Amino acid sequence: MNKEELAQMAKDIHKDIEKNYDLSVHEKEHKMLSELATKHVMAESQWNLLNARKAILTLADGKIDKIPELVRAAQKDFRDVIYWATLDRKDQKP
């Protein structure tokens, strides 16, 4: 993944936050997501980090109280939240 694709993914995460969370919690939500760092993902990869953060937002579905639990799960194994988000998307397909 190149730098432009990483930058776009980061922008998509920011747009998701703006779309699904009240303006008053944006800073709090960013802070919670920042607790998941590159040290928590395989190869300290920026791609893996952004992918895990996007998965957390998908799973939280606009509910800020779900984010800390999902971040803790991702800190243990970031692949779990990515997998769960994939399952969640498949369940929504007709």
Kindly report, residue by residue over 15-24, the tens digit of the pLDDT. 888 888 887 7
Q: For the chain, what is the domain count? A: 1
Q: Is 62 left (phi over 0), alpha (psi -120 to 50) or beta?
A: left
- What tens digit of pLDDT does each residue of 48-77 get? 999 999 999 999 999 999 999 999 999 999
Q: How many CA atoms lie within 13 A of 4 on its CB side?
A: 0
pLDDT at 91: 66
For residue 27, the enclosing domain spans 3-92
Q: What predicted TM-score, i.e. pTM, was given to this entire model?
A: 0.82
Estimate to the nearest angstrom the gap between the alpha carbon of 13 and the chain centroid: 7
